[in-house]
Each structure stands twice: as C-alpha cells, then as structure tokens.
C-alpha cells in the first residue's frame, strides 16, 4: 500500500484515484427535509434520492466503478449460453480463490436462497459469527434457526480488539455437540460482520473453526461480500500477514472454506453475485436451482456487462491502494467523531462509521427504536442518509414479541471511491451538532409494519412532535444555511 506522510503532521487519508465523472448533489433546506421524512414514513429507506445530499445508507451497488471496469463492459458477450463473459469471470474467480466451480446469482441474497433451499430443513441449526438480516430470514423460512457463536469481544460496542468478528471456537464446538452434527448443514462466517460494525475475523480464527468443522464433518461457508475490508484488516492487524501479498492471503483464507458466496454489489464494485464451490458433488447438488431461480448457468440473473465489470473489480480488490480507501476514510471519520465526544463503534471496521444510538439517545427505549430515531434525526439535521442497524432491523418472534437487538447502531456507509474529504467533514460536523442537541430527539413507532424485512419498507411516525422542535433548533443555530 502506498504510504504518504503530510509535512504538516496531519493524519488524513489520501485518495489514490481521481474523479472523472461527477453527479450533481442537492441539499434541501431543513423544512423540506422534514417534509421528505413525513412522505417517507420516517424510514430512510423510503426517502427519494433527489432529497438526499450524501447517501450513506449502504455500500451495496453504489460503489464507484473504475475506468477499467467501464471499458470492460463494452466487451460483454450477451449469448444466453456459452458466453465468453462468463468464462472470463469464472477464470478470474479461479485465479484469485482457487475454487473450481462457480454458480452465478443476481446478488448475495439470491445465493443465500440457493444455499438454504439446498441444505436447510425443519430443525436445522446454523451457527455463525453473527447473522445478517437476509441470511437469517432464508434459514428461518426453511424451518431452521440461527445460533450466533460470536466471540465475546464482538458484542462490546467499544473495544480495542482487532478481530471482533471472530467465532468463539469453544462455543462453536459445544453448540455442534449439543444439537448434533447431523442437524448442522453448515457453519457460516461473515467477513466483516455487518450488524456489529463491519468487524473482521482473523485467519488464525478461521483455522480453528475449520478444525472444529472437520472434527464433526460439517461444511464451512464464508459470506465474502465484505471480504475486501477484511483482507485489509488481516494485512494491517494480523502479525503473520503484515508482509504477505493480498492475493496470497486470499488464497490462504479460501483454502479453508467449502463454499464461498458473495454479493458483487460490495465485492467487485459492480452488481451481481455468486457461489464458489470446492467439490463437484456440492456443485451438482446446487446447480439446478440457478436456472430455476436466477437464470441460465452462464449469467444467473446478472447483466453480462456487470459481469465484465466484476471480473475487473475482483482484480482491483487485490490492490491495497483500492481496498484501503474505505477503511482509512472510516477510521478518519470515527476518530473525528470520537474527538468531538460522539459515541461510535471502536475499533473502526469496514463498510462505514457506526454511531452507537444506545449511548447517543439513552432516553429512548429499544421498543421505540433509538437507532431508527437517530437515522431520522441525522437526515433532518444534515441531508445525510444513514441506515438503522438495531431493533428495527430485527424480526418479531412468531408470537409477536419484539426481539431486541444486541446493538443499536446507525451505519454511515462510505461507498468505495465515492465521497471526498470535505463531504466526510460535513457529515462529522452535522453529527456533532446533533450530538449537542440529542435531548430534542424522540422515539418512533410503526404505523405500517410488514412481517418480512420490515426495516426496508415499513412506515413509522414520531412519538410526539420532536422533528419540528429539532428543525426549529437547526434553523435558529444555522440561520439561512442549508
């Protein structure tokens, strides 16, 4: 990775790319932002992009593509079968991961559907370091359940542990022994655990997990959607790999998994996904579901142009100058907020900077969704759209009981190669203002609550008229400023 020091002594990340295509942004006045929230049912997912200034909702499908990716899209072979585009992508995956079989899907959750349909049955138990919303929903839909075997450090919002996404190996062993290996279709490890702040796991931990899986004859799967960030942290934080090339680290990791699936909306900087498989038997077991659910075996529901872009993007994922940009910007943002007293997840992980809504808004109960309230308030104060990652993102129990999240976080995603330093500083400034006016923020309650993945499209209302009070305070403090 390129090392650049500033003569001034400032410690700021330096973009190792230049901007050649731009998209005009629009920052609405606070009164119009409040009206947009009403229209969106106080759910940031339902805001119109025209009303958003900085979209930090997600890094999924919104990463900037490179000039090489754009050029590669012109080479696409749109043959329904026998496409050379598929061959190029397949060969690139084999080159990087050394896994011989590939099943294309239109994105990561489509891969989860295929995996769960193939192996999860009534009574199945899937241990994992931490669940993701869609991964859990697919397992539950097939009659299975998820048991999280995250290392204890991972449940601490503030910590100095470098690998909070590790699995508690003793707990994994105990879990498989108790439920029976025959009831465990696979163990899932998520690279860059999304719901606890994009926290990575170490290679050393994967080795121990692999040994437990071998002991019981259980498959080991990796969700590699956020692998780029995890690779960066392995190289930066795991002593054994400080001088090891990223490609060699990737092959070392991949060699320990039976199946690796991914969303290319994150890994590869384009839109698509797929499943890499080590054994021919496993490949054949899943193969029929691709044409059934996704598309033929040489495109799997993806645009061939996106497939060409993914092949190039995977090469770029092996370049530390590219994959360092996200974590470095996130670290900068986290450190600036910490310096201003704002509660955030530490250490900084991948994907985005994560605000700790539990400490930010301690006066709001989890039943009134503090993370959702904070995301709403932040949009009102700034035009920045973040994502609730807390109790709103959890599903209710079958009896209707509200399942409370382990953490109440607001994710401020930093899509790769998208934002400038001044935009990050703007977001820090407005979060800090909101922190200083946090007592004005109240809770939310559902007025339309879907049964499945409610956080995507459910509608809410404020408990009391706190948005008006917050907007009035903003106008008083900022006068005619947007």
d(CA 221, CA 124): 15
| Of 33, 109, 164, 266, catalytic | 266
Assess whether 132 carries a catalytic annotation: yes
Query: Which of the following is catalytic: 53, 130, 132, 257?
Result: 132
**Which of 188, 235, 389, 430 does the annotation list as catalytic?**
389
CA torsion sign, 71 to 72 to 75 to 81?
negative
Helix axis angle, 304-317 to 84-97, nearest 10°: 20
**Cβ-proximal residues to 184 (8 Å cutoff; 6+ apart), any chain:** 124, 125, 126, 127, 176, 216, 218
298 a catalytic residue: no
Of the residues 97, 102, 379, 455, only one is catalytic, namely 455
Catalytic annotation present for 232 = no
Structure tokens at 104: 């294309």
Catalytic residue among 45, 77, 117, 133: 133
Bridge partners, residue 145, by sequence: 125
Cross-strand bridge partners of residue 384: 54
What whole-number distance in Å separates Cα of residue 351 and Cα of residue 323? 11
454 is an active site residue: no
Among this protein's residues, is 455 annotated catalytic? yes
Is-catalytic flag, 315?
no
**DSSP for 286-299, written as a single string:** HHTHHHHHT--TTT
Question: In the annotation, is 215 catalytic?
Answer: no
Find the helix packing angle between 325-339 and 421-436, rounded to 10°.
30
> Catalytic pick from 80, 456, 457, 478?
80
User: Which one is catalytic: 168, 223, 229, 258?
Assistant: 223
CB of 431 within 8 A of CB of 423?
A: no
Q: Contact, 262 vs 105, CB < 8 A? A: no
Instruction: Measure the N-to-C terminal CA separation of the chain; round to a whole number of Å.
Output: 38
Asked whether the beta carbons of 308 and 269 are under 8 A apart, the reply is no
429-445 burial: b if 16+ Cβ within 10 Å, else e: ebbbbbbebbebbbbbe
* Pairwise CA distance, residues 12 & 10, whole Å: 6
How far is residue 138's CA from residue 160's CA, in Å, rounded to a whole number?
33
Q: Which residues are catalytic?
A: 80, 132-133, 223, 266, 389, 455
């Amino acid at each position: 990775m390129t090392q650049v020091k500033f003569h001034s002594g400032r410690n700021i990340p330096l973009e190792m790319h230049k901007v050649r295509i731009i998209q005009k942004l629009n920052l609405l006045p606070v009164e119009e932002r409040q009206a947009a929230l009403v229209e969106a049912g106080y759910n940031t997912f339902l805001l119109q992009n025209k009303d958003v200034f900085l979209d930090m909702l997600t890094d999924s499908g919104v990463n900037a593509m490179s000039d090489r990716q754009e050029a590669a899209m012109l080479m696409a072979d749109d043959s329904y079968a026998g496409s050379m585009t598929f061959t190029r992508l397949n060969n690139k995956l084999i080159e990087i991961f050394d896994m011989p079989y590939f099943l294309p899907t239109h994105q990561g959750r489509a891969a989860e559907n295929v995996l769960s349909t193939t192996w999860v049955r009534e009574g199945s138990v899937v241990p994992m370091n931490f669940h993701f919303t869609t991964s859990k929903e697919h397992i539950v839909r097939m009659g299975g359940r998820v048991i999280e075997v995250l290392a204890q450090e991972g449940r601490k919002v503030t910590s100095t542990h470098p690998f909070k996404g590790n699995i508690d190996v003793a707990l994994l062993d105990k879990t498989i022994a108790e439920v029976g290996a025959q009831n465990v279709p696979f163990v899932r490890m998520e690279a860059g655990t999304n719901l606890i702040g994009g926290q990575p796991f170490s290679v050393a931990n994967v080795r121990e997990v692999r040994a437990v899986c071998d002991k019981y004859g259980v498959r080991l799967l990796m969700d590699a959607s956020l692998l780029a960030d995890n690779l960066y942290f392995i190289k930066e934080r795991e002593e054994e790999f400080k001088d090891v090339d990223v490609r060699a680290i990737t092959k070392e990791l991949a060699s320990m998994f039976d199946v690796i699936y991914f969303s290319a909306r994150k890994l590869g900087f384009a839109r698509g996904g797929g499943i890499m498989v080590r054994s021919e038997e496993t490949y054949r077991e899943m193969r029929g579901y691709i044409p059934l659910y996704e598309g033929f075996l040489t495109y799997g529901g993806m645009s061939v142009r996106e497939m060409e872009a993914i092949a190039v993007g995977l090469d770029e994922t092996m370049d530390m100058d590219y994959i360092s940009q996200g974590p470095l910007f996130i670290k900068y943002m986290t450190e600036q907020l910490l310096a201003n007293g704002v509660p955030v997840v530490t250490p900084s992980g991948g994907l985005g900077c994560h605000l700790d809504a539990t400490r930010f808004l301690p006066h709001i109960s989890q039943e009134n969704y503090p993370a959702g309230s904070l995301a709403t308030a932040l949009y009102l104060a700034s035009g920045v759209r973040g994502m609730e990652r807390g109790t709103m993102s959890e599903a209710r129990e079958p009896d209707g009981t509200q399942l409370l999240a382990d953490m109440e976080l607001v994710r401020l995603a930093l899509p790769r190669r998208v934002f400038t330093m001044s935009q990050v500083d703007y977001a820090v400034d407005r979060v800090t203002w909101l922190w200083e006016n946090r007592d004005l923020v109240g809770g939310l309650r559902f007025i339309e609550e879907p049964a499945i993945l409610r956080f995507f499209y459910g509608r809410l209302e404020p408990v009391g008229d706190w948005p008006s009070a917050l907007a009035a305070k903003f106008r008083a403090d900022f006068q005619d400023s947007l």
